[in-house]
Structures are given as structure tokens and as C-alpha cells.
Amino acid sequence: MDYDSIDTEIPALGDCKIESPLGRQEGAPFMRFVSDDERVVIDVRTRNLKERAAEGKSLPSFELAGPREKIYFDPSKLKCALVTCGGLCPGLNDIIRAIVFQLHHRYGVKNIFGIQYGLQGFVPEYEHDIIELTPKTVRNIHEMGGSILGSSRGPQSIAVIVDSLERMNIGILFMIGGDGTLMAATRIADEILKRNLKISVVSIPKTIDNDIHLVSRSFGFDTAVDLATQPLRGAHHEAEGYPNGIGLIKLMGRHSGFIAATATLAQQDVNFVLIPEVDFDIDGPNGLLASIEKRLKERKHAVVVVAEGAGQKFFKDQGDEVDDSGNVKLKDIGIYLKNAIAKHFAEKGINISIKYIDPSYMIRSLPANPNDRVFCSFLGRDAVHAGMAGKTKLLIGRWNNHFVHLPMTACAGKRKHINPSEKLWLSVLDSTGQGSLRNE
């Protein structure tokens, strides 16, 4: 990837002239403030250093996240809004809690509002109430799944959203969501800048699939992998318990197979993994069915994991439908494979016992695990630091073991995929021994 082409500058609403309260709170520990000059190098594999130095080129880098010594907003007069959009994901409530606690306890911001049911909450015709968020109202929400603010899908008028922000006199808008939300946040920030308003837009990337471009890890992913190992274990025991037993598990992953691949490596009871990034055939001498048949002859059982976005080529003749957000509705590859496997072995007169498991909605709606809770706390607090400093049109992400400010324009509309020639997928192949499932 050409990192030199990425514009890593973060827009700001204006000069920061207010002394941060973080450095003068009684009883508070020593505060290490972060300068805008502190950067995190994007590519740690430093190749062609001599050539770059001769050409006067510096290494591409991201701005380090963290508290600034001077801030833009006056906390005593500031109003903030939080909104969660798109599908549910473990950790949403942890993010909300971290933002509210940081704003209230550390910066002294008293006016914090929760927008209900995603971007619909800004549109008057839906008549959704606004929730006042305080440390008391969010104290225990990290123990709950889902989002206390609710969510929704589908586009809303950007002009109407910004009109609502103006009416509410919001200074910082925190948007928690995936790629569609990032694209909406970019348009909202552009409309705000077009109107010359002093509203900061800060996004926290949310995707259980871990597929946001330039974000090395998204919250909820660790929990998803943790929870996905349980049905994998169950499918393995079911498959082992019957002659010619087959366990088939469908996991999340619309465009990227990170959950399927990582859960497979965590559990290592899987024999075949199907992901969107790697093509496979069902029929033919090297296809999935023949490979499962060979496995049953050798070991009497098999476990197959499929990401929800894999194998969509088998539905081309059915046409595409879209959801309220404009995303193509995926056809159910899990049921398709279950039926194909059952038909194949029935035609061959081979008795099998197939168990199909789809834990997707259970996984995404449960509370975050401890690792994700800690991660969400960092993300939420750094989002507050960025907003208080008047930074806008950015998201908080993890890169090279540091939390950084990422420009929305560098991430929105782009996806991260598994590279079939790199370590993650090669390790999956080593673990499963599946080889190629193509007939070519």
C-alpha cells in the first residue's frame, strides 16, 4: 500500500486558547499532555530510508491521540451529543460510559445528551426523545449488551441533522458506528464546515468484523472471537459424537473473514474455513464437497466454518436486494451449504449427521469481554480529548500499538481485508490443512 498518498492532517475548528482542566485538578496525578507534533509512523518496516532521506521525504505518520495542554471548548458552556448507528456490537455501552465519565469527571462538562435510535434521533418527524447522560445514568451500562441509545439503519438528511445540531447548540458530536456511519459523519462534518459552524465531529469506529481501513483493531472484535470459539467447540463435539458427523458454523464477516480466521486459530478444531477473500468451489474434484467426503473417510468427522459473506457467487442468478442503509443483502451461505452437503451425501448413499449453528445475533448483542472493555475505555477517553481540543472530521483508531487520530477521508468507504498470502491466512491453512478448494 502507498502510505505516502494518505493525507494525515486533522482539521481543527480554531486555535486552542483555554488551559486544560486536566493539569490543575486537585488530587489528580501528574498529567502528561500530548503535542500535535508527536506522531506514530504508519509503516514500521522502514525500507528505502537512505533514498527517502536523499529526497527529503519524511516517513508518513499519524497524529498521536491523547490530552492536549490547551483546549478549544470552554467546558462550562459546552454541550455534547452521542449517537450509535448501524448494527449492534459488544462494547457500545462501554464507549458511551467512557465518554460520559471523561467529559463529566475530568473536563467538567455537564450537558451531555444521548441521541436515540441512530441518526433518526436528529430528525423531528421520528419524535425520538433525547436522553440526558450523567455518570449516574451510565454507571452500570457496561454490564449490558446492545446500546442504551438504540440504533437504526438508513440514510437521513444531512442538512436536517446539522439543523438539529444547531438548534441544540451542540459543540461536540460523538458518532459511534461502522463504515456507513463514517461516510455519514464525513458528510455531516463537511456540511458543518460549509456553514462555518463550530461543531467538532469525532467518530469511534465500530465493526464487529474488524474491517475498517487503517484501523488495526476495532472494539467488539475480541469479544466476538472469544464467543465464537464456544459454538466451534460445540460443533466439534457434535461432529465427533456421530458417524460421519459434520459441524457447520456460520460466523459474521460480510466482506472480511477476520472473525472466522481468528476464531479458527483460537480453537483449532476446524477443518475447513471459507471467507470472502478466498474463492472456493463446491463441486468438482477439489471442491468443498469432495474435500469433506475425503475427510470423513479418513477421520469420520469434519468441522466447517463459513463467514457470512463467503460464496456469494453462488447466488448471482438471484439478483441483489439492499437494506435501508443501501448495503447489499447477503444471501444465506450457511443454509445453502447445509443443503448442498446434505444433498451430495444423500445422492451418494452416505449417511451423515450434520449440525448447523448460526450464533451471529447472540454474539453481537452480548456485553463486551474484559479485553474489549479496557479497549473501549481508551477509545472513549481519547475521543473526548480530541473533541475538547477542537479537532474534527477524525476517528480514533489503534495503529502500531498507539491510539491515533485518523482522518475520516482516509478510512471512510474503504475496507480492510485478509491478505491470503500473509501470516493470518497462512496460519489458518497450517491449522486446518485444508489446502485449495478450487478446481483450477
Domain ranges of the chain: 3-218+366-411, 222-361+420-432
**pLDDT for 147 beyond 90:** yes
Instruction: Locate 179 and state its grid cell.
Output: 463504515
Listed range (23-27, 139-143, 181-185, 212-216) with the worst mean pLDDT: 23-27
Report DSSP letters for 60-109, one per residue.
PEEEEPS--SEESS-GGG-EEEEEE-SS--TTHHHHHHHHHHIIIIIT--
**pLDDT for 208 beyond 70:** yes
Q: What is the arithmetic mean of pLDDT over 51-65?
A: 79
Query: Residue 316: pLDDT band by 50, 70, 90 thresholds?
Result: confident
Query: Residue 318: pLDDT band by 50, 70, 90 thresholds?
Result: confident
Q: What is the arithmetic mean of pLDDT over 128-136?
A: 97
CB atoms within 10 A of CB 113: 18
Which fold, 222-361+420-432? Rossmann fold (3.40.50)
Instruction: Locate 176 and state its grid cell.
Output: 459511534
- pLDDT at residue 56, as a whole number: 65
Main-chain phi, psi angles of 193, to 5 degrees: -65, -35
Instruction: Find the distance separating the first CA and the last CA of the chain, reported in whole Å.
Output: 28
d(CA 185, CA 158): 9
- pLDDT at residue 24, as a whole number: 72
Q: What is the arithmetic mean of pLDDT over 360-364?
A: 87
**Letter for the amino acid at 250?**
K
In percent, the amount of the chain with pLDDT more than 70 equals 94
- pLDDT at residue 58, as a whole number: 77
pLDDT tens per residue across span 262-299? 999 999 999 999 999 999 999 999 999 999 999 999 99
In percent, the amount of the chain with pLDDT more than 90 equals 84
Main-chain phi, psi angles of 93, to 5 degrees: -70, -30
Residues with Cβ < 8 Å from 376, sequence gap 6 or more? Answer: 91, 94, 95, 98, 219, 368
d(CA 258, CA 273): 11
- pLDDT at residue 31, as a whole number: 74
**pLDDT for 139 beyond 90:** yes
pLDDT tens per residue across span 14-56? 999 999 999 776 555 567 899 999 999 888 776 666 666 666 6
Q: Is 209 a catalytic residue?
A: yes
CB atoms within 10 A of CB 47: 7
- pLDDT at residue 113, as a whole number: 98
| CATH label, 3-218+366-411, candidates 3.40.50.300, 3.40.50.450, 3.90.850.10, 3.40.50.1580 | 3.40.50.450
Q: What is the arithmetic mean of pLDDT over 386-415?
A: 95
400: left (phi over 0), alpha (psi -120 to 50) or beta: left
Query: Residue 377: pLDDT band by 50, 70, 90 thresholds?
Result: very high
Q: What is the arithmetic mean of pLDDT over 160-173?
A: 98
pTM of the model: 0.93
> What mean pLDDT, rounded, does the chain reach?
93
Q: What is the arithmetic mean of pLDDT over 210-218?
A: 93
Instruction: Locate 182 and state its grid cell.
Output: 463514517
Residues 94, 209, 222, 358: which is the catalytic one? 209
**pLDDT for 326 beyond 70:** no
pLDDT tens per residue across span 77-107? 999 999 999 989 999 999 999 999 999 999 9
**pLDDT for 13 beyond 70:** yes
Whether 3-218+366-411 and 222-361+420-432 share one fold: the answer is yes
